[in-house]
Structure 1
Amino acid sequence: MKQLINNLKGDRVIWSFVALLALFSFMPVFSASSNLAYLGRGTGNTLGYLVKHLAHICIGFLIIYWVHKVPYHYFRAISKVGLPVVWVLLAYTLIKGTVIAGANASRWIQVPFIGVTFQTSTLASIVLFIFVARYLSKTREVPITFKSSIWELWTPVFITLMFILPANFSTTALIFSMVLMLVFIGKYPIKYIAVILGSGIVFLAFFILLSKAFPDSKFFSRVGTWGNRIESFTTDKPEEDDYQIEKAKIAIASGKIYGLGPGKSIQKNFLPQSSSDFIFAIIVEEYGLIGGLGVLTLYLLLLFRFVIASHKATTLFGKLVVIGLGFPMIFQAMVNMAVAVELLPVTGQTLPLISSGGSSIWMTCFALGIIISVTKKEEEIVQELKEAAKREEALQKLIDRELEEETVVEESYSIEDKAKNPLQAVLNK
Structure 2
Amino acid sequence: MSSLLQHIKSYIKGDLFIWALVALLALFSFMPVYSASTNLVYVAGNGTTIGILVKHAVLLLMGFIIMFFIHRTPYRYFSGVSVVMIPIVIVLLIVTLAQGTTIGGANAARWIRIPIIGVGFQTSTLAGLVIMVYTARYLAKRKDSIIDFKESLFRLWGPIALVLMFILPANFSTTAIVFMMIMLLCFVGGYPIKYLAGIIGAGIVFLMLFVLTAKAFPGLMPNRVDTWMSRIESFSDDESKEGYQVENAKIAIATGGLTGKGPGKSVQKNFLPQSSSDFIFAIIVEEYGLFGAGMVLLVYFVLTFRLYVAAKKAGTIFGKLLVVGVGFPIVFQAIINMMVATNLGPVTGQTLPLISSGGTSIWMTCLAIGMVLSVTASANVTEEELETASEDPLEKLYHTEEIEEA
Mark the runs of 5 or more structure 2 residues left unpaired by the alignment.
383-406
Contact 2:79–2:137, Cα closer than 8 Å, also in 1:
yes
Contact 1:105 1:168 in 2 (8 A): no
Shift of 1:313: 0.3
SS for the counterpart of 2:378 is: helix
Q: Work out the number of aligned pairs and report it.
A: 378
Aligned to 1:143: 146
Change (3 A) 1:63 1:85: same
Shift of 1:283: 0.1
Three-state SS of the structure 2 residue aligned to 1:320 is helix
Which ranges in structure 1 are unaligned for 5 or more consecutive residues? 382-429
1:115 positional shift: 2.3
- What SS class does the counterpart of residue 33 from structure 1 fall into? helix
Post-superposition CA distance 1:57-105 (Å, at most 9, x none)? 1111111111111100001000011100000000000011376798533
Give 1:212 shift.
1.8
Aligned to 1:91, the other structure's residue is in SS state helix
1:101 & 1:355 partners in 2: Cα distance?
23
Query: Which residue is 1:338 aligned to?
Result: 339
User: What is the rounded CA distance, in whole Å, between the counterparts of 1:51 and 1:189 in structure 2?
Assistant: 49
Aligned to 1:322: 323
Report the Cα distance in structure 1 between the residues aligned to 2:374 and 2:230, rounded to whole angstroms: 43
In structure 1, the partner of 2:27 is 23
User: RMSD across aligned C-alpha pairs, in angstroms?
Assistant: 1.6
Residue type of the alignment partner of 1:229: R
Question: 1:295 and 1:335, CA in 2 relative to 1: closer, same or farther beyond 3 A?
Answer: same
* CA distance in 1: counterparts of 2:372 and 2:285, whole angstroms: 30
CA distance in 1 between counterparts of 2:70 and 2:77 reads 11
1:397 corresponding residue in structure 2: none
Question: What percent identity do the matched residue pairs reach?
Answer: 58
**Distance (Å, rounded) in 1 between the aligned partners of 2:61 and 2:349:** 24
SS at match of 1:117: strand
- Verify: 1:152 aligned to 2:155, yes or no: yes
Distance in 1, matches of 2:311 and 2:96, equals: 34
TM (norm. structure 1) is 0.85
Q: Does 1:348 align with 2:349?
A: yes
CA displacement at 1:42 relative to structure 2: 6.0
Distance 1:318-1:139 versus aligned 2 partners, 3 A rule: same
Does the 8 Å contact 2:231/2:242 carry over to 1? yes
Cα–Cα, structure 1 residues 41 and 312, in superposed 2: closer, same or farther, change >3 Å?
closer
The answer to whether the 8 Å contact 1:10/1:379 transfers is no
Aligned partners of 1:333 and 1:352 also within 8 Å: yes
Structure 1 equivalent of residue 50 of structure 2: 47
Distance 1:162 1:380 in 2: 36
Alignment of 1:26-425 (within 5 A): 26-39=30-43, 41=45, 45-97=48-100, 103-217=106-220, 219-233=221-235, 235-236=236-237, 238-378=239-379
Please identify the structure whose Cα radius of gyration is greater. 1
Contact 2:257 / 2:289 at 8 angstroms: preserved in 1? yes
Partners of 1:162 and 1:360 lie apart in 2 by 21
Residue 113 of structure 1 and its aligned partner are, at CA, apart by 3.3
8 Å CA contact 1:25, 1:354 repeated in 2? yes
For residues 207-251 of structure 1, give each alpha carbon's deviation from its aligned partner in whole angstroms, at most 9, with x where no partner exists.
01101211233x253001111111121x43621111100000000
Query: Does the aligned pair in 2 maintain the 1:68–1:370 contact within 8 Å?
Result: yes
Contact kept in structure 2, 1:98 and 1:108, CA below 8 Å = no
**What TM-score comes out, normalization by structure 2 length?**
0.90
2:248–2:271 Cα contact (<8 Å) kept: yes
